[in-house]
Amino acid sequence: MRNRLGVVVFGAALAAGAQPGVTNPPSSFKINFPADSPVALVSADWGESRTNTLGGAVVVELHAALSLRNSSQGRIRGVTLLVLAQDVAPGGKASVSVPSLDIRPGETFPVRLDMRLLRPLRGGSGPLVAIDLDGVLFDDLTFYGPNRLNSRRSMTVWELEAKRDRRHFRSILEAQGPEGLRKEILASLARRDERANLDVQVTRRGRATAVVAEGEREVQFAFLRFPEAPLEPVSGLAHVSGGEARAPRVEVLNRSDRPVHYFEISWIIRDRQGREFLAGSVPALDPALKLAPGQKSQIFEDASLKFSRAPGQPVAIDGLTGFVSQVEFSDGAIWIPSRAALADPRLQRVLAPSPEEQRLSDLYRRRGLGALVSELKKY
């Protein structure tokens, strides 16, 4: 389950200014699924969902358990819901994506909603929160939905990762047997437990209003290059001061034979002690992008990113490394790195496992090797 909130409302401020909470009736929440939706609502438990007042706003604490049914003829691999309290001010909308599903026609599955949203105190007479279907992805990678959140791309990437990682673990099982699979899963769990996380604070700013920090310097990107990648990073830099990187830009060359519509460059930061952390990605945000074969394109993010390992512990940036993490072609096909490419020791130390690899390793933790073997043999 992945929850994505538009804006974080800090708990300290809420605790200081919020009025006592009120439990709201089910009529305060509305689920809007189209008549031809491939998923249908079976039940909704709104649990301890409550509202509080904070100044001129209503804070909606949404805690709900939905049960949905696959009412289509295809097998569902992913679902994304848009959760909306209001669509104007920050904090009014969120989304929930559920990847790594395998829901056959007629089967039901749960979706959990736990989030906080803001709504103007005078928000009209409609429901406090509306839940819309943004998209459903099927096992053949066909998609249903308005795709307002670009969930087709996200869920397709997760499904391609899932297929890639299941193939990897099945190949280990076939070549090395159950004990070889156990060893590989334990290694995955160890990397997951050892991986260091960063807190990232992003500040959007226009180029004209950007302020140069004291001691700021230009840091050139180094690149990890994958022979199989359709794009080749050519150059890149960011303006760095302490634990802050500002205005990252990267130039790439399309070395494939197809036009590219979208891509992301993920990047790794190295601190002064030589430790490395996954910092995020620089996406190509131009909706009209059509990078022809042999052409170059530059992506630029008008933002300042501050990194810290914990509040008050900034990371002193000493180096930057980038790599192509996904590419979408103009025909909708998507490329992701192979397991062989991700076997690079630097990437293994910093990359989080895919949702599917997490699901499989969690299955091993809960139910053991036999359950994992049976699960892999289902596909």
376 by DSSP, 3-state: which?
helix
Q: Which stretches in the chain have pLDDT values below 50?
A: 1-20, 207-210
**Residues 128 and 85 sit within 8 Å (Cβ to Cβ):** yes
Cβ neighbors of 162 (< 8 A, separation 6 or more) are 77, 99, 100, 354, 355, 356
Report the alpha-carbon distance of residue 144 to residue 71 in Å, rounded: 13
pLDDT at 7: 32
pLDDT at 213: 61
**Residues 364 and 373 sit within 8 Å (Cβ to Cβ):** no
Q: Model-level pTM?
A: 0.86
Report the alpha-carbon distance of residue 85 to residue 95 in Å, rounded: 11
pLDDT at 22: 56
**Residues 48 and 23 sit within 8 Å (Cβ to Cβ):** yes
- Give the tens place of pLDDT for each residue, 324-364: 999 999 999 999 999 999 999 999 999 999 999 999 999 99
Q: What is the CATH number of domain 199-350?
A: 2.60.40
Could you say which DSSP state residue 49 is in? -
Say how many C-beta atoms besides its own lie within 10 A of residue 340's C-beta.
11
Could you say which DSSP state residue 209 is in? G
Domain boundaries, the chain: 2-143, 159-194+356-376, 199-350
